[in-house]
Amino acid sequence: MKKKYDFFMFDLDGVLINSIENMKISWKEATKEAGIKVKFSEYKKHIGLPFRSILRNLKINRKHFNIIESKYKITSKKNFKLIKLYPGVKKLFLDFKKKKIQYSIITSKDYYRTKAILKRNNLKPSTIHCPTDKLKKPNKRIIFNCLKINNFSKKNCIYIGDSFFDKKMAYDASVDFLFASYGYSKIKINKNKTLKKISDVCKYI
């Protein structure tokens, strides 16, 4: 029998929302604006990290950071219509509401775009945790802060993500983890700890 949980923490991109087309367009416009050539396929390898961490991993010159980030965010907002909830997300959270189960969002997306996406899709998590200068994925303290604010212990909570960085953060925090295999990354993990679709979360409530 699968373990049941009282509190769920979700990554956003690749888990609750499919934003890959929005990302492709935003990255193309941002790199064009900065006059550099880095394929989206390279960017995609680092999805799950905060934006500037991705730029550093791609060894992009720091002088381009501001213009790339600004253009990326502007283009992303203009193309919000391309961001879609994965099938089953609405129903899952209706089930959560009926059973009085709480959930939070832990994402590498900036706060303002995260809030806009959640509002657009009428998603109302207990708390939202976005990167700051001092605290960002895969730092385990993000999970600790989330649990403390929501008054839950590690024992009955779980984090759901779609990247190696999500897995590392959860494992470092000694929190149970489920891998959204339908998301953007491929990682080595026990098949019993994977979700083929978001509705599979229902097995754990």
Q: What is the pLDDT of residues 152-190, one digit of tens each?
A: 999 999 999 999 999 999 999 999 999 999 999 999 898
Q: Beta-carbon neighbour count of residue 134 at 10 Å? A: 7
What is the pLDDT confidence band of residue 191, given thresholds at 50, 70 and 90? confident
Nearest to 137 by CA among 197, 74, 71, 51: 51
DSSP, collapsed to helix, strand or coil, labels residue 68 as helix
CATH architecture for residues 7-18+84-204: 3-Layer(aba) Sandwich (3.40)
- Token reading at 183: 């998301």
What is the model's pLDDT at position 44? 95
What is the pLDDT confidence band of residue 50, given thresholds at 50, 70 and 90? very high
What is the model's pLDDT at position 1? 61
Q: 9 and 104 in contact (C-beta within 8 Å)?
A: yes
CA separation for the pair 103, 124 (Å, rounded): 9
User: Which element (helix H / strand E) includes 111?
Assistant: helix 111-120
